[in-house]
Amino acid sequence: MSASDSLATQSNNGEVKIKKSSTSKNYARMDLLERVWLLIVWAIVITIFGGLRPHTFLTVTTFSGMFGLNSTLAILALGLIIVLRVGEFDLSIAANLVVSSEVMGILNVNHHVSLLISMIIAVLVGGAIGAFNALIILKLKIDSFIATLGMGSVLSGIGLWITGGTSLTGLSQALVNDVVVRRLFGISYEFYYALVLMMVLWYIFRYTAIGRRLLFVGKNREVARLSGVRVSRIRFGAFTVAGMFGAVAGIVYSGTSGTTNPSAGLVYLLPAYAAAFLGATCIDIGDFNPIGTVSAVFFLVTGVQGLAMLGVGNFVQDIFYGAALILSVAGSQYLARSKSRRVISTE
C-alpha cells in the first residue's frame, strides 16, 4: 500500500500529468515501437540470414516451409497461453498432444473409424485430459506446475503403452492432404488453421466477458473471487480448452508427418513456453496474447532455420529455445518494472 501511495501525488490545482521525457507524439510512437519490437527484430534477423545465405535462405521453399510446417508448435503455444493467462501452468500439454493424436491414429488406422469421427474423439480426449488436470488441481489443491508435471509423465507413459512404443502409419490421406499437401499462396493449409485459431483467441480474449474473466483470475485470484468471478469454473474451463488445443496440435502434427509418434511430440513443450513468454513481451505487453505468441513462434523458427543453414548443428535448437525462454522472462520482468515506474505526478 505504501508503495502505491508514494508513487503519486497531486498538485494543488488538481491537475495531473503523466511524467514523460518527450512530447506525447513521440511517446505514442515509442509505445507502438515497444509493441511491435519483435516484428522489427524478426525483419532484421531475416535480413542478416538473407545476406549471409542469399541463395538458400531467401527462397520460396524456405519460407513456405517455415510458415507451413510449424503450425503444430503455434497451435500448442496458443493452447498454452489460455492456461498461462489464468495464472496457471500446463506442463502436460505436449504429452496431451501425443496421446490425443495416437487416439485418433488408433481409431482411424486400427479400427477404421472415419477420419472426422476420429478427429472429434481426439479433441474430446484432449479436453478430457485438460479437465482431469483441472480436477486434480482444484480438488486436491495442488499447484498446477506440480500437478501437470506429474500428469505429463503419466500421459507420455500412456502414449507409449497404447501404441506399444511404435509409430502408427497409414493415416487417412485426406488428413495429410488437408493439412500439408494443399496450399494457399504457396503455404500449406495448416498455417491458416493456426491463423484462424489465433484470431479466434484474440477475439475471445479482447471482446468477450469470458476472455476478461480469464485475465481477471490470472491477474489476481482473490480480487476476482471478491468481484464475483467464479474462479474455479474459469480455471476448469481454461485447462479443458487448452487440452483441446493440445489435441488439435496433435492432429496437425499427424497430418504434417503422416504418422503418430509416441515421443516426437514431447519436444514441442519447451519451444511452446518460449514462444508464449516471448509473445508476452510484445503486442499486449505484459499479458500472454495470441498475436504475440504466433509472431514469436515464427521468429523462433526463423532463427533455428537460419542457424541450420549456416551449418550449425542440430543442437543449436535446444540452446536457442532455452535461451529465448530465459531472456523473454527476464525481459518481460524488466518491462513490467519500468512500466510501473512511469507514474503519475505533478510537474
Partner 1 sequence: MQSTVTISDVSQHFGAVKALDQVGLTLRPGEVRALIGANGSGKSTLVKVIAGYHTPDSGAVDVGGTQCSLSDARGVSELWKVSIVHQDLGLIDGLSILENFLLNDFSSSNELKISWSERSKSVSKYLERFGVKISPFRKINECSRVARALIALARAVWILESDVRNSSVDQSGITGTLILDELTAFLSVEEVKLLRSVIKDVVASGYSVLFVSHDLDEIISFADQITVLRDGKCVADQSARDISKDELFTLIAGRSAEDLKNNAVSNIAETESRDKITIEDLSSGDGALGPISFDFASGEVVGITGLVGSGYELVPYSLFGADKGSAGSLTIESGTIRIDRLTPPQAIQLGIALVPGDRNTQGLWSDMTIAENLTATDKEHKTNPWLISWKRVWGRGNDVVKEYAVKAPNSHTKILQLSGGNAQRVMMAKGITAKPSVLLLHEPVQGVDVGSRSHIADVILDRASSGLAVLCASGDHEFLAQVASRVLVFSHGKIVSELHAKEGQQFVGKDEIVYACQNKISVDVQ
20 is an interface residue for partner 1 by CB under 8 A: no
Please list every residue from 255 through 294 that binds partner 1, using CB under 8 A.
Answer: 286
30 is an interface residue for partner 1 by CB under 8 A: no
337 is an interface residue for partner 1 by CB under 8 A: no
- Which of 47, 208, 263, 333 is the binder for partner 1 (CB under 8 A)? 208
162 is an interface residue for partner 1 by CB under 8 A: no
| Stretch binding partner 1 (CB under 8 A), from 83-91, 106-114, 218-226, 275-283 | 218-226
Q: Which is nearer to partner 1, 41 or 199 (CB)?
A: 199
- Which of 65, 115, 225, 309 is the binder for partner 1 (CB under 8 A)? 225
4 is an interface residue for partner 1 by CB under 8 A: yes
14 is an interface residue for partner 1 by CB under 8 A: yes
**Three-state helix/strand/coil letters over the chain:** CHHHHHHCCCCCCCCCEECCCCCHHHHHHHHHHHHCHHHHHHHHHHHHHHHHCCCCCCCHHHHHHHHHCCHHHHHHHHHHHHHHHCCCCCCCHHHHHHHHHHHHHHHHHHCCCCHHHHHHHHHHHHHHHHHHHHHHHHHCCCCHHHHHHHHHHHHHHHHHHHHCCCCECCCCHHHHHHHHHCEECCEEHHHHHHHHHHHHHHHHHHHCHHHHHHHHHHHCHHHHHHCCCCHHHHHHHHHHHHHHHHHHHHHHHHHHHCCECCCHHHHHHHHHHHHHHHHCCCCCCCCCCHHHHHHHHHHHHHHHHHHHHCCCCCCHHHHHHHHHHHHHHHHHHHHHHHHHHCCEECC
21 is an interface residue for partner 1 by CB under 8 A: no
Residues near partner 1 (CB under 8 A): 1-2, 4-5, 7-10, 14, 16-18, 206-210, 212, 215-216, 219-220, 222-230, 286, 336, 340, 342-344
